Amino acid sequence: MDINSPTAKLVLDDGSQFEGQLFGAPQPVCGEVVFNTGMVGYPETMTDPSYSGQILVLTYPLIGNYGVPGREREDQLLAYFESERIHIRALIVADYSEHYSHWNAKQSLSAWMAQDKIPGLTGIDTRALTKKLRHQGTLLGRIICPDAAEPAQEDPNLQNLVMNAGIKEPIVYAKGSKKIVLVDCGVKNNIIRAFLKRNITVLRVPWDYDFSKEKADGFIISNGPGDPKQCTATIKHTRKALALNTPILGICLGSQILGLAAGANTYKLKFGHRGQNQPCVESGTRRCYITSQNHGYAIETGSLPEDWREWFYNANDQTNEGIKHIAKPYFGTQFHPEASPGPDDTEFLFDMFLRAIGS
């Protein structure tokens, strides 16, 4: 990192401050400060719409050393990113590397962030910062830059972040004869890729689209940012879809929405689960899967109606990681079967869902 880079500071709402050097776009921002424990995958992580409204702390110390890939497309989707743009509000790292080396790299991390007007701070004691977030819980924060007005603090979870995380008009990805409707609450591209490579046609619709009116072989409710209770339109339409007996799969935020539509409750976790190494146990078995995760809310297992069961739970804190109906083809996973980044150990769940739709 250039020693002449300007300094800035991260100020948390408990009053603590962390000073570092700026990279990316030198501009002030505010957001919810969260941490991710993954070792690789920052291009995929930063373009995950589930991070909307958040200042992301990466616990792995060396970031930027393999640069950022190009914007090639496949099946209408960017091949190496999880959406069309960076969704985090800022990036906090211990050691940013401007010099990168990778066969697929086209530019530095800083240059990419500057294009999307995303600031970064390096030289931060991310271990101390992460320990604070684990001890006190997720905190709001601001990045204050020299010669710039301080941003007003706001809690992004009080907003419906899903409104701006996904598409505004339906998109069709034509493949095979079977069709699923995917409700875009901030979907990651690899969820769409997972079905296209299985020869399934995908109709991608906005978060507030009444998908229950569509003739389809199955419904997917995607991941996305923020408090699931803000997605009142999606919950209402999901409740209608539950009366149709059409297979439904909820992923991350989608699982929470499925739970709320069924009558369960959700709550905010102390500091959430974000990374590619979260252990999840399948209920009633001793089988544990290592999963990719990004969420700050969870379903309250005890609030599930009597015809629903916990499907998976987190081995670290026993919080809910999946739900399923005892008789109907309705499933939800709190983790990400599509990975990207992370292990693809649970991608078989997509095949299980396709068996439910008769594919």
Distance CA 299, CA 262 (A): 11
C-alpha distance from residue 18 to each of 25, 28, 305 (Å) = 18, 14, 45
Q: Is 185 a catalytic site residue? A: no
Instruction: Name the domain boundary from 156, 187, 216.
Output: 156
In a domain, 2, yes or no: no
Closest CA to 334 of 264, 236, 245, 286: 264
In terms of domains, do 177 and 300 share one?
yes
Q: What is the CATH number of the domain that holds 230?
A: 3.40.50.880
Q: 50 pairs with which residues across the strands? A: none
Residue 118 within a domain: yes
Q: Which of 237, 273, 325, 336 is flagged as catalytic?
A: 336
**237 in any annotated domain:** yes
Averages of pLDDT over runs of 10 residues in the chain (359 residues) are: 78 96 96 96 98 98 97 96 98 97 96 98 97 96 90 92 97 97 98 98 98 97 98 98 97 98 98 96 97 98 97 98 98 98 96 94
Query: Looking at the structure, do residues 137 and 262 belong to the same domain, yes or no?
Result: no
* Helix residue ranges, H only, the chain: 42-46, 109-115, 126-136, 189-196, 232-241, 253-262, 348-356
Q: How far apart are CA 78 and CA 193, in angstroms?
A: 10
Residues ≥6 apart with Cβ < 8 Å to 193: 74, 75, 77, 338
Same-domain pairing of 118 and 171: no
Residue 142 lies in a domain: yes
Look up residue 302 and give its two tokens: 């005890």
> Within a domain: residue 20?
yes
Q: Do β-strands 105-107 and 68-69 pair in parallel, antiparallel, or remain unpaired?
A: antiparallel
pLDDT, position 5? 79
Q: Are residues 329 and 254 in the same domain?
A: yes
30, 231, 252, 280: the catalytic one is 252
In a domain, 254, yes or no: yes
Residues 178 and 316 in one domain: yes
Whole-model pTM?
A: 0.96
Q: Is residue 1 part of a domain?
A: no
Which of 107, 137, 156 is a domain's end point?
156
102 tagged catalytic: no
Q: Are residues 257 and 152 in the same domain?
A: no
Task: Judge whether 281 lies within some domain.
Answer: yes
Q: Which domain holds residue 105?
A: 7-156
**Residue 61 bridge partners (DSSP):** none
Number of folded domains that form the chain: 2
What is the model's pLDDT at position 65? Answer: 97
Active site residue 336: yes
Q: Which of 32, 82, 310, 338 is catalytic?
A: 338
Instruction: Give the residue from 156, 181, 216 where a domain finishes.
Output: 156
CATH of the domain at 33: 3.50.30.20
Cα separation of 34 and 10, whole Å? 13
CA 267 to chain centre: 17
Q: What are phi and psi of 289, to 5 degrees?
A: -110, 140
246/313 same-domain check = yes
The number of residues in the chain equals 359
Residues 180 and 320 in one domain: yes
